[in-house]
């Protein structure tokens, strides 16, 4: 392995990492919002909306992100909706992630005994106050491991962004290999940069998990 | 005495299982009504109907002149007039004792935080738990949790307090501390409806005893002492006998 080449390529990978993180976090934020709203709809069993959420989950969980991105990127312009590659990436990640987040939040919400809801209602709180102040904080704390797994999964899924010519880590590696054929160096850097991105999340996540489970409720 | 709660022709069923049949009850301000009866007689369901946790099939529940008929969904107004304490405490585990107490007053009644905190601390002090205000529920004993749950209900200034077998999950010593708290409330003039299996407590606290069996009021009397000495109905006699042992 040629270290000069590694050093030469480093800035390219660094730029790609920032792009991946930027699109990744915005997509994941969207996924969180979709997850919260969708799981609340399922929690309250709101008619019609409940069915839409169900369709969303099945649609996005059971098709590959690659196909979803192609659909957003190439099919939407046909009906007059133009999206940039970056928006397409965020949207795709958000919609896919949303389906997973809804399910994760929902399992957390279902784990809280009904009588906690009744206790809050009997204090005169309305349905939303009960969800927001009483049920959701407990549900999120239970869901942390699942949410964390989703975040890592979604950041890894960004590797298919290269197919809609976003210059993410995967794109950069493939591009460099195609041009200069330094396959080993390029793949080595690719692995290292994915680890740089994801390992801290794993570690910080594990700490958060412990705090949420044991710290917050008093030991 | 003014009538605070009136229940007329309350009818409740779970599917084909009729739980409460044509129940009628009137409770005056300051009165302590104790409901006793065998398991599955509908005592707990009755309390849950009173603050809208169970839907009723027919009948009218009127609290402080505010009637709620069967099929009406908007019961938050009614619930603010009725406080409830559960067998399993149901404190919010992610909030401290103080936060548990002030959550509803601040969010529901929009009271000033300082004002709610001040009152919460006074009440916690009365039940001997002021020093536990920053503890989380899981750091407390069962009896302590139940006293916090009572304080939490009191902070909403309810017209009526419902107690659903609040000592059933407690050790005997803790039962005592919770019942003492309830006795103090009764002496202070609170209107209470209590479901309990503690017969000596029922005798001490009740202004009126209601004996419920199979969803119907079998015996209702203001003569509390008399009821425990010599119940009028055979069914109540049989029930009370299960609490005494002879060698």
CATH of the domain at B25: 3.40.50.300
Domain housing B75: 3-44+51-241
ipTM attached to this prediction: 0.90
Q: Which residues of B187-210 are buried (b: 16+ CB within 10 A; e: fewer)?
A: eeebbbbbbbebbebbeebbbbbb
Which domain does A172 fall in, by range?
A: 3-215
- CATH code of residue A107: 1.10.3720.10
* Interface contact A217, partner B, CB < 8 A: yes
Distance of CA A150 to the CA centre of its chain: 6
Q: For the residues B89-101, what does the mean pLDDT come to?
A: 94
Pick from A122, A133, A216: CB nearest B103: A133
Angle at A110 between CA A156 and CA B102, to 5 degrees: 110
pLDDT at A164: 85
Burial class (CB in 10 A: 0-12, 13-18, 19+), A152: middle
Residue that the structure tokens 């017969």 belong to: B199
Cβ-nearest to A115 among B52, B88, B109: B88
pLDDT digits (tens, 9 = 90+) for A76-97: 888 888 888 889 999 999 999 9
Q: Given an 8 Å threshold on Cβ–Cβ distance, is B109 in contact with A118?
A: no
Averaged confidence pLDDT in chain B: 90
Taking contacts as CB-CB distances below 8 angstroms, the residues of chain A near B52 are: 121
Q: List all residues 6 or more positions away from B220 whose beta carbon is below 8 Å from its beta carbon.
A: B208, B209, B210, B211
Q: Quick check: is B163 in a domain?
A: yes
Read off the pLDDT of residues A185-216 as tens digits, 9 standing for 90 and up. 889 999 999 999 999 999 988 888 887 765 45
Domain count, chain B: 1
Tally of structural domains, chain A: 1
Residue B246 placed within a domain: no
Beta strands B3-14 and B17-28 are: antiparallel
Mutate to test the interface with A, among B47, B53, B78, B153 (most CBs of A within 10 A): B53
Residue B247 lies in a domain: no
- Asked if residues A30 and A97 have their Cβ atoms less than 8 Å apart, the reply is yes
């Amino acid at each position: 392995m040629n270290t000069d080449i590694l050093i030469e390529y480093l800035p390219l990978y660094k730029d790609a990492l920032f792009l991946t993180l930027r699109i990744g976090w915005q997509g994941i934020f969207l996924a969180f919002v979709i997850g919260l709203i969708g799981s609340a709809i399922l929690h309250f069993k709101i008619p019609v909306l409940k069915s839409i959420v169900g369709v969303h989950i099945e649609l996005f969980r059971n098709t590959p992100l690659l196909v979803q991105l192609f659909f957003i990127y190439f099919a939407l312009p046909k009906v007059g909706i133009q999206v940039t590659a970056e928006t397409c990436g965020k949207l795709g990640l958000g919609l896919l992630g949303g389906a997973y987040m809804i399910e994760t939040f929902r399992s957390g919400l279902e784990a809280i005994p009904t009588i906690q809801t009744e206790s809050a209602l009997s204090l005169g709180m309305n349905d939303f106050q009960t969800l927001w102040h009483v049920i959701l904080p407990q549900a999120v704390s239970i869901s942390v491991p699942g949410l964390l797994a989703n975040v890592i999964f979604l950041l890894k899924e960004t590797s298919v962004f290269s197919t809609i010519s976003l210059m993410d880590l995967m794109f950069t590696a493939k591009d460099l290999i195609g041009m200069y054929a330094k396959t080993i160096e390029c793949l080595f850097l690719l692995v290292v940069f994915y680890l740089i991105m994801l390992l801290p999340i794993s570690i910080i996540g594990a700490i958060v998990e412990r705090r949420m489970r044991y710290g917050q409720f008093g030991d | 005495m003014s009538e605070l709660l009136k229940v007329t022709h309350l009818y409740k069923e779970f599917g084909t299982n009729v739980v409460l049949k044509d129940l009628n009850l009137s409770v005056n301000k300051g009165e302590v009504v104790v409901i006793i009866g065998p398991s599955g007689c509908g005592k707990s369901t009755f309390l849950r109907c009173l603050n809208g946790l169970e839907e009723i099939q027919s009948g009218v529940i009127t609290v402080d002149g505010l009637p709620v008929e069967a099929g009406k969904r908007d019961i938050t107004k009614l619930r603010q007039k009725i406080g409830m304490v559960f067998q399993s405490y149901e404190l919010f585990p992610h909030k401290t004792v103080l936060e548990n107490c002030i959550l509803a007053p601040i969010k529901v009644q929009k009271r000033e935080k300082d004002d709610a905190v001040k009152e919460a601390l006074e009440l916690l002090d009365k039940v001997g738990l002021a020093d536990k205000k920053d503890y989380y529920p899981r750091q407390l004993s069962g009896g302590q949790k139940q006293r916090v749950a009572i304080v939490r209900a009191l902070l909403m200034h309810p017209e009526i307090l419902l107690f659903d077998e609040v000592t059933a999950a407690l050790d005997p010593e803790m039962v005592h501390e919770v019942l003492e708290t309830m006795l103090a409330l009764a002496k202070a003039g609170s209107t209470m409806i209590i479901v309990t299996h503690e017969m000596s407590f029922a005798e001490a606290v009740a202004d009126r005893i209601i004996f419920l069996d199979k969803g119907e009021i079998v015996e209702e009397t203001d003569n509390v002492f008399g009821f425990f000495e010599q119940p009028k109905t055979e069914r109540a006699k049989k029930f009370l006998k299960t609490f005494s042992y002879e060698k």
